[in-house]
Amino acid sequence: MARQRLVIVGNGMAGLRFLEETLERARGRFDITVVGAEPVAAYNRVLLSAVLAGEAAAVDVLLRPERWYAAHDIDLITGQVVQVLDRRARCVRLQNGRTIPFDILVLATGSDPITLSVPGSDLRGVATFRTLCDIAAFERFAAGRRPAVVIGGGLLGIEAAHGLARRGVKVTLVHLADRLMERQLDAEGAALLAEAIKAKGVRVLLGANTRAIRGSCEVEAVELADGRVLKCGLVIMAIGIRPRAALAASGGLATSRGILVDDRMETSLKGVFAIGECAEHRGICYGLVEPCYEHAKVAAAAILGETIGYRGSVLATNLKVSGVPVFSAGDFEEVGEAIIVRDVAVPSVRKLVTRDGRLTGAVLVGDVADASWYWELIRSRELVTPFRNALAFGRAFAEAA
Residue 118 lies in a domain: no
Residue 367 lies in a domain: yes
Is the same domain home to 13 and 89? yes
Is the same domain home to 189 and 132? yes
Q: What CATH number does the domain containing 385 carry?
A: 3.30.390.30
**pLDDT tens column, 254-296:** 999 999 999 999 999 999 999 999 999 999 999 989 999 999 9
Domain holding 209, by residue range, is: 126-237
**pLDDT tens column, 47-102:** 998 899 888 999 999 999 999 999 999 999 999 999 999 999 999 999 999 999 99
Is the same domain home to 223 and 261? no
Is the same domain home to 136 and 100? no
Is the same domain home to 278 and 294? yes
CA dihedral 167, 170, 175, 180 (to 10 degrees): 50
pLDDT: which is higher, 40 or 141: 40
Q: What CATH number does the domain containing 96 carry?
A: 3.50.50.60
Is the same domain home to 139 and 225? yes
What angle do the packed helices 289-303 and 13-26 form, to 10 degrees?
40
* Structural domains of the chain, count: 3
Is the same domain home to 290 and 360? no
Residue 68 lies in a domain: yes
Residue 309 lies in a domain: no
Is the same domain home to 12 and 45? yes
